[in-house]
Structure 1
Amino acid sequence: MRPDSPNRKPDSSSPDSHDPAMLALLALGWTLADNARADRLLALTGMDAATLRAGVGDPTILAAVLGFLADHEPDLVACAAAIDTSPAALIAAQERLNR
């Protein structure tokens, strides 16, 4: 569940109402919680752990995390459910971070 709304599910119908960096950080946490998925993130993005740690505040890195999820719909859907948002909100966040 998102830390800013511990007792209610946020309105997922409006992707633009979410902070894209926060969604990306939540998605990153979800991704890194599974070792196989974390290894796949690093392999497919070309990042290493140090680059990822150093880039946590970088919109390009955060967009890459969301792009990784967008490229594998089952993970995108599972991540969205886990962090109480919609897949559309994650895609919108990626697009906003890429601007």
Structure 2
Amino acid sequence: MTTDHAQAVALRAAAFIFSEDDLRDRFIALSGAGVDDIRARIGEQDFLASLLEFLMGHEPDLMAFSSYAEEKPETIVKAWRALGGGEGQEW
């Protein structure tokens, strides 16, 4: 998994999350990020990893995104790891 591919997956995750009212509201509530924070950080690797981690934290969301992005769930986990997610964690 290249960093470029991981970033592309994460940017599709952003489009998916922010196009769904329930997901967007839950992400904002859990992350504490405001709209300005999101705009400022959308290009940062750790923020992109947090979007993928958010989806991975609830299997129905992960599966819905997997279908939306036409990516296997395993690919999403690999993208998360390529962006620095999960250091010291097992998934």
The TM-score, its normalising length taken from structure 2, stands at: 0.86
Q: Write out the 4+ residue segments of structure 1 that deviate beyond 4 Å after TM superposition.
A: none
Q: Match of 2:61, as an amino acid? A: D
Residue of structure 2 equivalent to 1:33 = 19
1:64 maps to: 50
- Alignment correspondent of 1:9: none
Number of aligned pairs?
84
Write the distance in 2 (CA, Å) between the matches of 1:58 and 1:76: 21
* Residue ranges of structure 2 left out of the alignment (5+ in a row): 86-91
Measured in 2, the distance between the counterparts of 1:52 and 1:69 equals: 16
Residues 42-90 of structure 1, C-alpha deviations (whole Å, 9 max, x = no match): 1112211111111111001000000000100100011011011111111
What is the letter of the counterpart of residue 53 of structure 1?
Answer: R
For residues 78 and 32 of structure 2, what CA distance do their matches in structure 1 show?
A: 23
Structure 2 counterparts to residues 82-93 of structure 1, below 5 A: 82-93=68-79
Once the two structures are aligned, what percentage of the paired residues are identical? Answer: 30
> Where in structure 1 are there 5+ consecutive unaligned residues?
1-15
Whole-angstrom CA distance in 1 between matches of 2:83 and 2:71: 17
- Structure with greater proportional helix content: 2
Please give the alpha-carbon distance, in whole angstroms, between the structure 2 residues aligned to 1:70 and 1:25.
15
Partner of 1:79: 65
RMSD: 1.4
Q: Which SS does the other structure have where 1:23 is aligned?
A: helix
The one-character-per-residue Cα deviations of 1:6-60 (angstroms, maximum 9, x if unpaired) are xxxxxxxxxx267000000001101111111101011112211111111111001
Aligned with 1:57: secondary structure? Answer: coil
* SS of corresponding position for 1:85: coil
